[in-house]
């Protein structure tokens, strides 16, 4: 790892201090013991939502240019949410640089975690990542499935199941191996073999 700028270390200490003394409601965040620019944390599901009672593990990666570039936040626990992808990435303008996003160096990790927890409880249905979730929402079945996933993957003892579920879902969404498509017209037949290599990314916590 390249040397970390002193200004970044100072900023990181300031960002993490509130998590030791007065963390935001329902949020926990700490440094990875093996990498100072990696953070491990959890967000509890807000009361009165389908995610109530769940503890969702997350990871945050910072670059040497933080806070001038936004963090990379990923959910490690499987969650049925329209703004969170199968790989755990979050569709949130705060996590994108301008002009496409609203990230600013003034945004602290405290503020970021609070914003993500609000997103969990108040999905943005006009900015979805998961069409399947949206279809369930239109049919009125979204909350029931979100509650079931919360119980199964984010409830007591669900951390490992949640991570395994995330990996299985990545495999399903990234493609099938050795898929063969045959396209024929008249006496001419063309066989196209499309092979997709699936890579699963696993983050240790």
The model's pLDDT over 112-167, given as tens digits with 9 standing for 90+, comes to 999 999 999 999 998 888 888 999 999 999 999 999 999 999 998 655 554 555 55
Among candidate residues 27, 62, 91, 133, the one labeled active-site is: 91
Question: Is residue 91 annotated as a catalytic residue, yes or no?
Answer: yes
- Return mean pLDDT, the chain: 83
Q: What is the mean pLDDT of residues 83-99?
A: 94
The model's pLDDT over 21-57, given as tens digits with 9 standing for 90+, comes to 999 999 999 999 999 999 999 999 999 999 999 999 9
pLDDT cut 90: percent of the chain above it: 69
Tell me how far apart the alpha carbons of residues 177 and 13 are, in angstroms, rounded to a whole number. 45
Strand order, beta sheet including 35-44: 27-32, 35-44, 55-61, 72-75
As a CATH number, domain 6-174 is 3.10.110.10
Instruction: Enter the pTM of the model.
Output: 0.76
Tell me how far apart the alpha carbons of residues 10 and 46 are, in angstroms, rounded to a whole number. 31
Tokens 């979050």 belong to 90
Closest CA to 60 of 72, 50, 48, 70: 72
């Amino acid at each position: 790892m390249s040397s970390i700028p002193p200004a970044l270390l100072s900023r990181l200490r300031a960002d993490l201090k509130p998590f030791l003394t007065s963390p935001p409601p329902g949020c926990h965040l700490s440094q990875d013991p093996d990498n100072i620019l990696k953070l491990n944390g959890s967000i509890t599901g807000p009361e009165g939502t389908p995610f109530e009672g769940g503890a969702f593990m997350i990871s945050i990666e910072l670059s040497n240019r933080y806070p001038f570039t936004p963090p990379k936040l990923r959910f490690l626990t499987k969650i049925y949410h329209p703004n969170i992808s199968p790989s755990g990435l979050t569709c949130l303008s705060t996590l994108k640089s301008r002009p496409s996003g609203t990230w600013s160096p003034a945004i602290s990790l405290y503020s970021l975690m609070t914003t993500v927890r609000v997103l969990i409880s108040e999905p943005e249905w006009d900015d979805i990542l998961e069409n399947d979730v949206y279809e369930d929402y239109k049919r009125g079945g979204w909350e029931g499935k979100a509650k079931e996933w919360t119980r199964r993957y984010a409830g007591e003892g669900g951390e490992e199941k949640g991570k395994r579920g995330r990996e299985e879902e990545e495999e399903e969404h990234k493609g099938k191996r050795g898929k063969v498509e045959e396209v024929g017209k008249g006496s001419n037949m063309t066989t196209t073999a499309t092979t997709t290599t699936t890579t699963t990314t696993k983050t240790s916590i």
